[in-house]
Amino acid sequence: MTSKRSMTCQALLNNAVRRIASETPRLDAELLLAHVSGLSRSSFRAFPEREVDAQPAAEFESLVAQRALGMPVAYLLGHQEFWSLPLTVSSSTLIPRPDTECLVEQALELLLPDTARVVDLGTGTGAIALALASERPSWVISACDLLDDAVALAQLNARQLRLPVNVYQSSWFAGLPSASFDLIVSNPPYVASDDHHLKEGDVRFEPSSALVSGADGLDDIRRIVDEAPAWLSAEGWLLLEHGFDQAKAVRELFVDRGFAMVESRQDYGGNDRMTLGQWPRKKGALHAE
């Protein structure tokens, strides 16, 4: 039921918190109320009796009803922050996660050329590519995604942030212009098709094509690891995000393919969630330069 009269911030938020079944109901409610009212979250505590006009109050209650059904807050707001960058999001892509910022940190720690050529595979909103572009303006950064809607969204974010990232429609490497990259980075699908988490929480509303990758969750990672050497320069790096319990299997894929310096790195929760490896110079001459 939507409100037909103004209500106080406190009343709106208290009612919303009772209805939202998430791990952060108060935060969710405050973000939604700030979105429709134009007020800051800090003002809700400083001035709880401030009234919200009928129209924004009704809009707020509509958003709360959707959040109560599980719709992610980022989709309701239409934006999500990643690496301090405000990104437009939509239901055609995954919502950028804070832990994926660890992937950006690892990429920035690599010793790459000043004008390194970098590609972000399966870019979604463009989050990883745009974060790297914001930190390394001299790098030549490309990104790709299979879905037209995701390509358009990443291009929109690049324009809005005025960051020079070239975005292509491509199934992994298939549609990329011929190039030799110093770094290939990706947060690909890595969830097993029967994983129970797919039916829980916000994930229910995110595109399964960006989450699921075969019976063990490694189909896309296998393909990327297998094809990456043909697209890497000598001593170029491959850096992938994966599931918390997949590190050993992913390291074995890297080693079996011939990568050197293979290591797994941890996310903010201390889980092995990234694996990287370097394509050795002695084999680089056999592949695209």
Q: Is 122 annotated as a binding residue?
A: yes
- Residue 126 annotated in ligand binding: yes
Tell me if residue 210 falls in helix, strand or coil.
helix
**Is 145 annotated to bind ligand?**
yes
Listed residue (246, 251, 238, 149) closest to 191, CA to CA: 246
- Closest Cα to residue 89, out of 97, 79, 101? 79
Residues 6+ apart with CB under 8 A from 283: 229, 234, 258
B/e letters for 113-132, b = 16+ CB within 10 Å, e = fewer, are eeebbbbbbbbbbbbbbbbb
**Residue 172 annotated as lining a ligand binding site:** yes
Give the distance from CA 171 to its chain's centroid: 18
**Strand 117-121 versus strand 181-186 pairing type:** parallel
Is residue 271 part of an annotated ligand binding site? no
Q: Is 98 annotated as a binding residue?
A: no
Residues 28 and 73 sit within 8 Å (Cβ to Cβ): yes
- Taking the CA atoms of residue 253, residue 191, residue 167 and residue 132 in that order, the dihedral angle to the nearest 10 degrees is -70
Token pair for 117: 């050529």
The closest of 179, 126, 113 to 152, measured between CA atoms, is 126
Bridge partners of 145? 169
Residues 174, 227 contacting (CB under 8 angstroms)? no
First vs last Cα of the chain: how many Å apart? 62
Q: Does 83 count as an annotated binding residue?
A: no
Q: How many CB atoms are located within 10 Å of the residue 280 CB?
A: 15
Q: Is 139 annotated as a binding residue?
A: no
124 has binding-site annotation: yes
Task: List binding-site positions.
Answer: 122-126, 145, 172, 187-190
- Residues at the binding site for substrate are 187-190
Annotated binding site for S-adenosyl-L-methionine: 122-126, 145, 172, 187
